[in-house]
Amino acid sequence: MYAVTNPATGELIEQIENATDEEVRAAIDRVHRGYDSWRRRTVADRAKIVSRAAELFAERADELAAIMTLEMGKRINEGRGEIAIVVDIFNYYADNGPDLLTDEPMTIKGGEAVITKGPIGPLLGVMPWNFPIYQVARFVAPNLVLGNTILLKHASICPRSAVAIESVLRDAGVPEDVYVNTFASSSQIPAILADPRIQGVSLTGSEQAGISVAAEAGRNLKKTVLELGGSDPLIVLDTDDLDETVKATATARMRNCGQSCNAPKRMIVLADLYDEFVDRLTKRVADFYLPGDPADPETKLPPLASIAAADEVAAQVEKALEQGATLRTGGRRIGPGAFFEATVLTDVTPEMDAYYEEIFGPVVIVFRAETEEQAIAIANDSPFGLGASVFGTDRERSSRVARQIEAGMVYLNSAGGSQADLPFGGIKRSGMGRELGPAGIEEFMNKKSIRL
């Protein structure tokens, strides 16, 4: 069942029944029916509608931010910031889509050829709760311009976000059979992927969800894009302003209450800075990131998205402490609601679960590295490979380190983030495929070779 529960209070506000199997089949019928006419419309026409969607997202920013605050506890200002990125994404593909879809002529042995770029058909999107509108935007915007149609299954705690997104797209001119929201259950996903009319699936979510969906997609030979978890390293080589470095790293980690796949979760600091870095980071986290009402613009630390999420983080921290980690600050559940104190852990070793797992909450783990080489080794000693960050005053040195990190994205002197024109995605158990930028429109594209 889909449900709206205020994570700040634990109050159940609304419940929505799951779609029946018949309703899911009807939704597939719709996106299949809508594909033939949508793909035949000009790219310029589709891009114009996507541009109008960007305008409507901007106009409804306050309304959409309030929905996210209620459903999953996002700070109201962060919700507005999320909508700003959504607007950028829709504008990027509206403005650049026609050029990105231009035919590519080729000179080949014995003649000429052309590569055309077109859609492949109806797609399934399985979306998460941590960025309820941004995650949908980076999948939907490029595929609408490309000409694919979309069946969207959102997270079960975000039904109002799901309905609001569909409303924006409908009002922008997206036909009702081109984008269809379904309140399907997770147990219905295999049947959707088994339907021969669905041509691919994009999932953003947990590692376990990715394994399940990838298995079903592979069984049915469906194209797959997966953006899964991350335990991103942040290496501090040196700094000429330690306070600013601490502020930047803490801000990035605590954004969205630590519930960001590509947030820096493992700080790796060279030995000469380590003690002072830990002291200042601990003080900042303890004094600055205090829990409060996510609807209050002054709040620095909102609740996690659900009671279950807060309980899971609490269990991970408790286990780390039992296994020998050092607690510098925080570490406690706060009730009522899904609050968890901002936390700093040190002395985490490879023998502990916390060394390798992703903690999806306001928890920072700091490691000491004696050398640059050891810092790189710690960074790469992870099953994940989403993003990473390198802080340092020497750009050549930082770039050298960045090239040795096993990740899909590395940021120099900034921590994580996302922008419309930069490809986003990871390697290893962080998933496969890319979203955003030029790469984002190519994942579900038919690059057809025509020999002239």
- Cα separation, 387 vs 264, in Å, equals 8
Long-range contacts of 253-256 (CB under 8 A, 24+ apart): 253/362, 253/364, 253/415, 254/285, 254/289, 254/300, 254/301, 254/342, 254/362, 255/78, 255/416, 256/74, 256/78, 256/130, 256/131
Instruction: Give the three-state DSSP class for 273.
Output: helix
Instruction: Indicate which residue of 78, 166, 227, 443 is catalytic.
Output: 227
257 is catalytic: no
11: which 2 tokens? Answer: 């109050």
261 is catalytic: yes
Instruction: Indicate which residue of 82, 166, 261, 443 is catalytic.
Output: 261
DSSP 419-446: -TTS-B--EETTEES-BSHHHHTTTTEE
- Cα separation, 78 vs 84, in Å, equals 10
Q: Do the beta carbons of residue 119 and residue 101 sit within 8 Å? A: no
Q: Is 180 left (phi over 0), alpha (psi -120 to 50) or beta?
A: beta
- Cα separation, 20 vs 103, in Å, equals 42
249: which 2 tokens? Answer: 């790293």
- Cα separation, 247 vs 228, in Å, equals 27
* Residues with active-site annotation: 227, 261
